[in-house]
Amino acid sequence: MSDSLITIRFFASLREQLGRPAMELASEHLPDSATVAELIAVIVERIGPQADALNGADVQCAVNQQIVSHAESIRAGDEVAFFPPVTGG
């Protein structure tokens, strides 16, 4: 993984909805001190409307394996993962 890239992973139903398990994005495609919310906007722009699912209130996000809010800052070299809420039964 290059230090100038952000690795983005999609899990469970998000993987199916977006049609891919992961993608990489060069950090220069994001503003300085970008947030997860800004990253989502770039993903939607690149993948299309099906990526709007990432904006769901129940979608969880982790940066470098730590659960964070969509207001969390991200940097080059980070790994960002999105996954739907886990439900039990």
Superfamily of the domain at 5-83:
Beta-grasp domain (3.10.20.30)
Centre a 10 Å sphere on the Cβ of residue 3 and count the other Cβ atoms it contains: 8
Query: In the prediction, which pLDDT does 86 show?
Result: 73
Quote the percentage of the chain above a pLDDT of 70. Answer: 94
Centre a 10 Å sphere on the Cβ of residue 36 and count the other Cβ atoms it contains: 21
User: pTM for the full model?
Assistant: 0.89
Q: What is the average pLDDT value for the chain, to the nearest integer? A: 90
Quote the percentage of the chain above a pLDDT of 90. Answer: 72
39 close to 76: Cβ distance less than 8 angstroms: no
Concatenate the DSSP letters of all residues of 7-70 into one string: EEEE-HHHHHHHT-SEEEEEGGGS-TT-BHHHHHHHHHHHH-GGGGGGG-TT-EEEETTEEE-T
pLDDT band at 87; cut points 50, 70, 90: low
